[in-house]
Amino acid sequence: MQTASTNYKILIVDDEPDIVELLHYNLTVEGYEVAQAENGRKAIEMAQAFKPDVILMDVMMPVLDGIAACRELRKMPDFKQTHIIFLTARAEEFSEVAAFDAGADDFITKPIKPRALLSRLAAFARRDDQQKEQEQVITIAGLKIDRTSFAVYKGEQKIVLPKKEFELLAFLATTPNKVFTREELLNSIWGSDVYVIPRTVDVHIRKVREKVGEDHIRTIKGVGYKFNTD
> What's the pLDDT tens digit per position in 6-33?
578 999 999 999 999 999 999 999 989 9
| Rounded (10°) CA dihedral 161, 165, 168, 170 | 0
d(CA 104, CA 54): 11
Instruction: Let me know: does 11 contact 43? Beta carbons within 8 Å.
Output: yes
Share of the chain above pLDDT 90, in %: 59
**What is the average pLDDT value for the chain, to the nearest integer?**
88
Which stretches of the chain are assigned E, i.e. beta strand? 9-13, 33-37, 54-58, 83-88, 106-109, 137-140, 143-146, 151-154, 157-160, 180-181, 217-220, 224-227
> What's the pLDDT tens digit per position in 121-132?
888 877 776 666
In the predicted structure, residue 112 carries a pLDDT above the cut 60: yes
> What's the pLDDT tens digit per position in 59-71?
989 999 999 999 9
Residue 209's alpha-carbon distances to 124, 143, 162, in angstroms, are 25, 13, 13
**Residue 89 banded pLDDT, cuts 50, 70, 90:** confident
d(CA 103, CA 61): 18
Is this model's pTM higher than 0.85 or not? no
Domains annotated for the chain, with CATH where assigned, are: 9-131 (3.40.50.2300), 134-227 (1.10.10.10)
